[in-house]
Structure formats: structure tokens, C-alpha cells
Amino acid sequence: MFGLDDTGRLTFATNEFAALLNRTPDELVGTPVEALVTAEDRETLTATRQAVSSASDRMTRTCQVTLPQSGRSRPVTLELAATDDGSVVGSLCRTADPFQYLFDLIQDAVVGFEIVNFVPIVRTVNPAFVDTFGYDREEIVGEPLNEYIVPGDRVEEAVNYDQRTASGEINYAVVSRKTADGCREFIYRGVPYDTADGRRCGFAMYTDVTDSRRQKRRLRVLHRVLRHNLRNELSVVFGMSEYARANAAESAVSLAASRALDAADRLAAVSEKARCVETALNGDSDQPVDAAALARSVADSYRPDAPVETALPSTLPVTGGTAVYDAVDNLVENAVEHTPPDTAVRITAEQANGDAFVRVLDDGPGIPAIERAVVFDDEDITNLQHGSGLGIWLARWVAETADGGIEYDRADGWTTVSLRLPLSDADDVLTLVDAPESASEPTR
């Protein structure tokens, strides 16, 4: 809402109306109301204002105008009404603006600002900003944003972002900001825009990622400490068990030592698999690779002990990095080691619907339902229901990291696990230099 004197200048403005124009109430006082609208709307607004102010009774009229300072290109409806003392009061009629709903209801903190001398001055904030940072709209509108939310040791960083915004560049970064609950980490996205009158403004959105980033760091430390301790303690178990088996006077003691060694072997294999998972997922998932060459190399690594058939194209460029090799290798390993002897295992690959599909098939009994439910159907992992190994999980994570996926199918006595990977059109595709070329690809 706003008030006008008999010359059409603003005598007051509410905080809400001023924020809509990226101004403060004090800045608007004394401004001709016609200066707030586009040139083509000024004559209409003047006629409406004069009709209301000159009427003998309390008249109310509306007109459609565009407010360029608000950053909106669509017209809005202004309602003007005469008061008892002859002045005019105006208000903005509420309309269903989907962008305003988005601004008000989005759970991320959003602030609208204007760059003044390379400094972001707050013009509007959404309710989530108020909840996150603890400042009411009236308290922070018109104030320098950085003085309220930027920690002292991050001022230089924030100034660099402000300079980029002033130059019309988009910002995207993880930043630390002062909130009502102390310093927290956010994904910060800054989007600049210019108003019709040439001012540089923008929106800054803050997505709180403090808890997820802390959990990720803790898990990384925990993973490395456990692996280190596990490796060291397993060395002791191996040494003592070997000694006990070699020097046992009774067969029962020797058998117990052998069982301890078998258990230690399995535990060491899990530890090594966890290391492979960490290595594979830390690679460059955007790197283009030749999935056909990698699959051939996987098949060759199992020959002659466990012949793996292949039906592969000459080349199949995909996105996913060298971790694609680990994904295929673990699917083949699962098919070879968890099926009866003489089970046929096959690797195929093709393009379909804009993606690449690398499939590992076997004619064994299939993956148990309790395993499939967790890995392929996203069932909850419980103490009694969990994947017994990491191989298929690794394959799934590699595919998902590359914006692909994993699928399971059981038909006609064959189990098929498919990796879906994005096709790559890059010229420089990585292959394994030691992957031998097959003279022919056997089929079945």
C-alpha cells in the first residue's frame, strides 16, 4: 500500500510494497507515482489518479500497469481510492503469481538484492530466509547482505562473488554463512539480472547441506580408520592362525585354525572390495571410455579358468570413467563365483533409446530374492535382509554416478544384470592398452 499527495507523489509506502520495487519506504517517499511504471502506462495511471482525486465522493478505480523496478514483465492491477481528506491511497491487487508462490513457499532461503557500488543491498527475502538466518524482513531490507550473514573470515570470498554478480556472472559454490543456529554450510546459487531502468539486481539461494557434508566427512574418516585397523589386525590373525595350524598337536586345533584362516580370508576379501569401491567411486565419472574394450578385457581376465563368452560391438563409447571396468568385473565375478560349476557366463552390449547397455548373463539359479529386493528394489537394509557382498552395489553406484542405472531380469533360465550408461560422442575415448583384440566373438 502507498499514499499520494495532490501532485501524485508518494507520501508513504509499506515495507511490502517497497520490497516489491526493490526499494525501502524512505527511498520511495516523494517519488512521483508515474515514475514507478513504464512510459506507456503513465498516461493511464495519471488519468486514473486525477479521476479519483477530483471526484466528489469516495471513488475507487483500477488500472493495469507494469512496474519495471520489480523485475516483472507482466502487468499488475493498481487500485486507487480517495480518502476523506482528499488524498489518494493505492494498493496492489493480489493476483495468482506462480513465481511469487515459488518464492514464498520454497524451503531454501532466498534473498533478492540490488548491487550498489559492488555491495548487495537486500530488497526482499522469503520466509525461509527469515527462519534460517533469523532476521525479519523489516530488519534487513535496505541493509548490506554481507554484514548480516557472512562470517568474518569469509568476507573476501563473498566480495569476489559480489564482483562476479556485478559483472553479470552466475555464482555456484559451497559457502559458510552465519545463521540463527550458528555457522552452517550452504550450496549458494547467485543469479544476476538487470531491471528496465538499468540497475543490476539478483537473487541468492541458499540450500543447507551442513548435515550431509558432515556425515560424508565422518563416514570417510570412519571408513579409512576401520580399513587401516582391519588390515593391521588381520595380519595378526593370519600369522597366529598359521602358527597354530602348523604347530597343533591335535587335529581339532588344526581344524579350528584352518577355519579361522578361512574366515580371515573372507574378511580380507571384503576389506579389499571396500577399497575397490572407494577407488572406483573416487574416479572421474565424466570421462569417456570404450565400454566394449573394457568388457573384452574383463572377459579375458577370467580365461582360461572360467571362460566368459562375449557378444560385443567393435566399440561402444560411454560416460563413466574407468570405474566401468570395475562394475562389469564385479558383475562377472558374482556370476562366476556364486553359481554352480559349468554355468555359462556371457557379456553383451548394445545401444538402445539413446543409452548404452552392458549386460552380464548367466544360466545359473539367479540372485536370491532377498538380495534383489535390497539392491534392485530399494528395500530397507535390516539385520536380516542385506546384500552379502559389495560387488553388485559397486556396479549400481558406478552406473548411478554416471547418470545411468542398473536393471535385473530373469527369463528363460537366464539371469541378466544390465548396466545402463550414457553414450558419449567424445573423440578421445579411453581404452585399456592391454585389452587384446578378439578374432571373433563366440555366440550362444
pLDDT digits (tens, 9 = 90+) for 324-351: 998 999 999 989 888 888 889 999 999 9
Total structural domains within the chain? 3
Calculate the average pLDDT of the chain.
Answer: 84
Q: What angle do CA 389, 419, 395 make, to 5 degrees?
A: 25
Burial letters for 273-300: b for 16+ Cβ neighbours within 10 Å, e otherwise? bbebbeebbebebebbbbbbbbbbbbbe
**Which of 62, 88, 68 has its CA nearest to residue 6?**
88
- Distance of alpha carbon 298 from its chain centroid, rounded? 32
Residue 224 lies in a domain: no
Q: Please check whether residues 288 and 427 belong to one and the same domain.
A: yes
Q: Average pLDDT, stretch 435-440?
A: 37
Q: Please check whether residues 298 and 388 belong to one and the same domain.
A: yes
DSSP state, residue 32: B
Mode of pairing for the β-strands spanning 355-362 and 171-179:
unpaired
Residue 229 lies in a domain: no
Residue 440 has what pLDDT?
Answer: 35
Q: Please check whether residues 312 and 417 belong to one and the same domain.
A: yes
Express each pLDDT in 190-221 by its tens digit: 999 998 778 899 999 999 999 887 777 766 66
Q: Which of 53, 73, 95 is the last residue of a domain?
A: 95
Residue 339 has what pLDDT?
Answer: 85
Query: Which residue range forms the structural domain that includes residue 66?
Result: 2-95
Q: Please check whether residues 329 and 424 belong to one and the same domain.
A: yes
The lowest-confidence range among 109-113, 161-165, 364-368 is: 364-368
319 by Cβ neighbours in 10 Å (0-12 / 13-18 / 19+) ranks as buried
Q: Please check whether residues 71 and 144 belong to one and the same domain.
A: no
Cell, residue 219: 563416514
Residue 442 has what pLDDT?
Answer: 33
Q: Please check whether residues 87 and 109 belong to one and the same domain.
A: no
Q: Please check whether residues 104 and 81 belong to one and the same domain.
A: no
Q: Average pLDDT, stretch 37-46?
A: 89
DSSP H/E element including 412: none
Residue 247 in this model has a pLDDT that exceeds 70 = yes
Cβ distance 163 to 119 under 8 Å?
A: no
24-to-17, 130, 166, 297, 323 alpha-carbon distances in Å:
9, 18, 21, 67, 55
Residue 259 lies in a domain: no
Residue 237 lies in a domain: no
DSSP state, residue 144: B
Q: Please check whether residues 178 and 307 belong to one and the same domain.
A: no
Could you tell me the pLDDT band of residue 444, with boundaries at 50, 70 and 90?
very low
Residue 376 in this model has a pLDDT that exceeds 90 = no
- In terms of pLDDT, which residue wins out, 227 or 105? 105
Q: What is the CATH number of the domain that holds 362?
A: 3.30.565.10
The lowest-confidence range among 128-137, 168-177, 187-196, 283-292 is: 283-292
- In terms of pLDDT, which residue wins out, 189 or 54? 189
Q: Average pLDDT, stretch 411-431?
A: 85
Q: Identify the three-state secondary structure at position 387.
A: coil
- The amino acid present at 334, given as its one-letter code, is N
Residue 122 has what pLDDT?
Answer: 93
**Which of 65, 66, 5, 47 has its CA nearest to residue 30?**
5
In this prediction the pTM is 0.52
Residue 436 has what pLDDT?
Answer: 36
Q: Please check whether residues 90 and 113 belong to one and the same domain.
A: no
Residue 229 in this model has a pLDDT that exceeds 80 = no
- In terms of pLDDT, which residue wins out, 247 or 59? 247
- In terms of pLDDT, which residue wins out, 432 or 15? 15
Residue 247 lies in a domain: no
Q: What is the CATH number of the domain that holds 149?
A: 3.30.450.20
**Which of 323, 331, 280 has its CA nearest to residue 302?**
331
Q: Please check whether residues 405 and 306 belong to one and the same domain.
A: yes
Q: Which of 95, 127, 147 is the last residue of a domain?
A: 95
Q: Which of 3-7, 40-44, 170-174, 238-242 has the highest mean pLDDT?
A: 170-174
CA dihedral 409→411→413→418, nearest 10 degrees, is -30
Q: Please check whether residues 107 and 86 belong to one and the same domain.
A: no
Q: Please check whether residues 321 and 340 belong to one and the same domain.
A: yes
Q: Average pLDDT, stretch 296-301?
A: 94
Residue 223 lies in a domain: no
Express each pLDDT in 124-170 by its tens digit: 899 999 999 999 888 898 999 999 999 999 999 999 999 999 999 99
**Which of 329, 324, 334, 328 has its CA nearest to residue 387?**
334
Q: Average pLDDT, stretch 266-273?
A: 76
Residue 12 lies in a domain: yes
Residue 297 lies in a domain: yes
Q: Which of 170, 188, 211 is the last residue of a domain?
A: 211
